[in-house]
Structure 1
Amino acid sequence: MRTVLQFSIGPIGAAILSLITLPFVAWFFSVEDVGRLTMLQVVLGLTVSLFSLAMHQAYVREYHEEEDKPALLKLSIIPGLILLVLISLLTLVLPFSISTILFGIDSKLLTFLLFVGIFASFFINFLAHVIRMQERGLAFSATKLAPKILLLILISLIMLLNLTAEFKVLMLMNTLSVVFSLFIFAWVTRESWVKAITKSIDTILLTKMLRFSLPLVAGGIAYWGLTTMDRFFLRELSGFEELGVYALAAALAGAVSVLTSIFSSLWHPILYKWAKKSVDENKVQSVIENMVLLVALIWSLAGLFSFIIPFFLPPEYLAIEYLIVACVSMPLFYLLSETTGVGIGVTRLSNYSMLASICALLVNAVLNYLFIPTYGASGAALASVVAFFVFFIIKTEASSRIWCSLPRWKIYITCIAYTLATILMVITKATIVNYYLIWLVLLTSTCFLFFTRLKKSANFLKCYFKKRY
């Protein structure tokens, strides 16, 4: 429990700071600039997914199997770094402006800041996994909090110094916060990466890691596309204004992704420790059922209290009331799939993760193309909800077939019911009278379906706190 709390402080605090920062951005910058900021975040996410070659996942998978951790870190970074440098040099000689393509603004400064952010994000991705695998919860939390505090301070300077609220200023602030974050990660992990520099390259281990990671690259890019494709479709089919509204809803819902960050930081190391000794299926089933209850609770709370959010935002963001519930469902489906799809990691059959991402990506592409011209941001939300449901189903079924077939019909009933309720809310724009009753009924029904697990978990927590206090 202490480890959970230490790992939770940073992500939860960072989410709270983000929720404070986002209204600042919405009030001081135009909707179009919020849309451009989204394109920046999309590109940074792509570079991590593509150029890391998923070697950070291979690092996590082999961490408990290898004695020389610094050498393992070097092997995980080198292939992607070489690729990133080569592609960056190639990009510099291209005859067109990258900033124009991404942001609609021709600016060498924006292009420079973009590349700085890309390289910083690349290294942060690996160093974060070093801290995670060393189970240094407080250090992990510190690295999450510090850059968010800096970003909030920088944005506050707009008011104090009467700076022009334009996208170049917003881009500079974000780049500075990312670079500051890298410095913190580098300092906290200095013992690991300094030793890694002088380590020799074990080609046999490198080949083993690449065999595990490369299938995940396609899956990682497909997952990136799954989570960001709607932004590209909105920009092309609806413009930066619709993109800005949808992006802010997704950013606010991103606070839920904190749970994914915390859970992944704890779950994968624990799971692979279990795998080394032989996994207890009952333990996994208990984790899955507890996760279903948590997902149902968060989803219901989002539906019940979404009407509050527009009060803190400019009038042009009213649609967030119903969009945010759809956006919240996406990280929740991913969070749940991390438990129901455990067999993929245990068996090292990472092709199935790639299959789930690609199938969901195709569903998302088709539905975005069909829905966005008519429904705008609502169409993007509907497409993403359905696509993430497909992603969750495929990972769950794949795990059941290649590893262990755990009971799941109650899980499917719950997820289908919540998905349909969310789709109805988006289509009706939350105008149904007493709509909150639907969320209360769904939460009550889920607790009834998983009553045995709910009772066991409640008794466990009661005994735990009685021993502690």
Structure 2
Amino acid sequence: MNLKKILQFSIGPIGAAALSLITLPFVAWFFTVEDVGRLTMLQVVLSLAVSLFSLAMHQAYVREYHEEDDKQALFKVSVIPGLAVLLLVSVITIALPFSISMLLFEIDSTLLSFMLFIGIFASFFINFLAHVVRMQERGLVFSATKITPKLFLLIFIGLIMLLNLKAEFKTLMIMNTLAVLSSLMMFLWLTRDTWLPALKKNVSIVLLIKMLKFSLPLVAGGIAYWGLTTMDRFFLRSLSGFDELGIYAVAVALAGAVSVVSSIFSNIWHPILYKWAKEGIAQKKVQCVIDNMIIFVALIWSLAGVFSFIVPWFLPKEYQAIEYLIVACVAMPLFYLLSETTGVGIGITRRSKYSMFASISAFLVNALLNYLLIPDYGATGAALATVLAFFVFFIVKTEFSARLWCAIPRIKMYILILSYVIGTLVMVLSKANLGHFYLMWVFLFVFTCLLYRSRVSENVNILKFFLEKR
């Protein structure tokens, strides 16, 4: 994948993050903290639906893409199992004698329940279509799959103010649903050369079984990972209320800007890695990627710690706690980003069940810590629990990879990451009230550069050569 393709794939996550940063303060200023919390619950449920009902077949699609010649048939096989399960569960849920909207949003509304199901189905299809254009290396179209839902949401939310509509959650829900539906229509048009021919293809039972063997272990892992990233919202909703949930959700959403990097890297890394695996992978290449990723993660983590005091300036005073929550929230996508490189052995060896074990281990740690910490510490407890759980996720996934494939050097990496975790815990527990606390983050990054000085020197020389060549 050349530089042009990388830039095309990067536009989407960067644009989506920028639009989120515009939309979020807007919602925070004009809607109540409770409605922000309800919007968070909606996003959590949509995320769960994609993780659960896709049956992780989109990951099997990516894994087998370079192995199968008939891409349209591969797409059909990947979609059908999850769609069948989603239809069955939807019928059963509608027949149940309780209100799904009351359960999730504490608002009894048939309209909200209807909008929820529309959003789930649309998100399900968007997920698969995004992976189609990703594997076709259509960078601009893939970027559109990331930007368009956020852009439509921003436009529709703007209409609430422009048309003087009532700023309540029902209105917000309708606008969110319209945004997702509009995006789906666009993606169906852009990928018609794949899904239209796929309708006429026969389903290969052999291929279906092969893909399910790879994907089904990832379902439990995917749900566990979903729980790892979202269970804190459920605990906050039940143990602290929608106000604490709203504050925490805004902190997580702002930290989600860091997920842009994770998204860009994953979209580029997995196709390259599996192509390397087919051609015969060199361990030195992977080690180089790991070392550079550690340096990058340390840099972003330190920058978040140094400049966290700026964030509350752009939000109402109710969100002041975000100053010390933001660093913990940034750590979550950084752990995932790093584990994408240190855990490569699991994907290379097709031992996907070990990803499941890593996610379940972290899930259990997160559940226990959320239960113990949230009643007394609220959003602070949720942040602490999730940081520690992601640390466990990173360690377990890295260790499994080392045993399944090859043992990468890990001691100094663990020492460094543990130092950053301790620094984060100190900042959150002290509520950023320590004098000159930013020096701690500067020291940690200097420590990183010393530990990986040979790689830093190598990168500096590459940068010098590049600048001189220009």
Give me the whole-angstrom Cα distance separating, in 1, the residues matched to 2:120 and 2:209.
26
Partner of 2:24: 22
Pick from 188, 191, 194 the counterpart of residue 189 of structure 1.
191
Secondary structure at 1:165 match in 2: coil
How far has the Cα of 1:244 moved from its partner?
Answer: 0.5
Task: Flag the 1:459–1:183 CA change in 2: closer, same or farther, 3 A.
Answer: farther
Show CA shifts across 1:183-226 (max 9, x none).
Answer: 22212211011111111011001100000000000000000011
Partner of 1:244: 246
Task: Flag the 1:425–1:214 CA change in 2: closer, same or farther, 3 A.
Answer: same
How far has the Cα of 1:45 moved from its partner?
Answer: 0.8
Give me the whole-angstrom Cα distance separating, in 1, the residues matched to 2:11 and 2:44.
26
Secondary structure at 1:445 match in 2: helix
Partner of 2:431: 429
Secondary structure at 1:235 match in 2: helix
Give me the whole-angstrom Cα distance separating, in 2, the residues matched to 1:462 and 1:83.
55
Aligned length: 468
Partner of 1:203: 205
Give me the whole-angstrom Cα distance separating, in 2, the residues matched to 1:187 and 1:411.
46
Q: Runs in 1 of length 4+ with deviation above 6 angstroms?
A: none
Partner of 2:261: 259
Which has the larger displacement, 190-199 or 376-385?
A: 190-199
Secondary structure at 2:127 match in 1: helix
Partner of 1:293: 295
Give me the whole-angstrom Cα distance separating, in 2, the residues matched to 1:149 and 1:82.
30
Pick from 305, 308, 325 the counterpart of residue 306 of structure 1.
308
How far has the Cα of 1:398 moved from its partner?
Answer: 0.3
Give me the whole-angstrom Cα distance separating, in 1, the residues matched to 2:160 and 2:415.
49
Pick from 216, 219, 228 the counterpart of residue 218 of structure 2.
216
Q: Give the TM-score normalised by the residue count of structure 1.
A: 0.98
How far has the Cα of 1:179 moved from its partner?
Answer: 1.2
How far has the Cα of 1:464 moved from its partner?
Answer: 4.2
Give me the whole-angstrom Cα distance separating, in 1, the residues matched to 2:331 and 2:130.
26
Q: Is 1:420–2:413 an aligned residue pair?
A: no
Partner of 1:365: 367
Partner of 1:340: 342
How far has the Cα of 1:466 moved from its partner?
Answer: 5.0
Partner of 2:465: 463
Task: Flag the 1:465–1:186 CA change in 2: closer, same or farther, 3 A.
Answer: farther
Give me the whole-angstrom Cα distance separating, in 2, the residues matched to 1:272 and 1:198.
29
Give me the whole-angstrom Cα distance separating, in 2, the residues matched to 1:185 and 1:291.
32
Q: Give the TM-score normalised by the residue count of structure 2.
A: 0.98
Q: Residues 126 and 145 of structure 2 are in contact (CA less than 8 Å); yes or no, is this contact kept in structure 1?
A: no
Show CA shifts across 1:65-108 (max 9, x none).
Answer: 11111100000000000000011011111000000000000001
Which consecutive residues of structure 1, in runs of 5 or more, have no partner in the other structure? none
Partner of 2:455: 453
Give me the whole-angstrom Cα distance separating, in 1, the residues matched to 2:447 and 2:190.
46
Partner of 1:129: 131
2:147 maps to a residue whose letter is L
Give me the whole-angstrom Cα distance separating, in 1, the residues matched to 2:230 and 2:146.
23
Q: Residues 115 and 177 of structure 2 are in contact (CA less than 8 Å); yes or no, is this contact kept in structure 1?
A: yes
Map 1:44-443 to 2 at 5 A: 44-443=46-445
Q: Residues 33 and 243 of structure 2 are in contact (CA less than 8 Å); yes or no, is this contact kept in structure 1?
A: yes
Which has the larger displacement, 386-395 or 256-265?
A: 256-265
Partner of 1:2: 4
Task: Flag the 1:131–1:463 CA change in 2: closer, same or farther, 3 A.
Answer: farther
Give me the whole-angstrom Cα distance separating, in 1, the residues matched to 2:222 and 2:149.
25
Identity of aligned residues (%): 70
RMSD: 1.0
How far has the Cα of 1:461 moved from its partner?
Answer: 3.8
How far has the Cα of 1:41 moved from its partner?
Answer: 0.7
Give me the whole-angstrom Cα distance separating, in 1, the residues matched to 2:460 and 2:354.
35
How far has the Cα of 1:13 moved from its partner?
Answer: 1.2
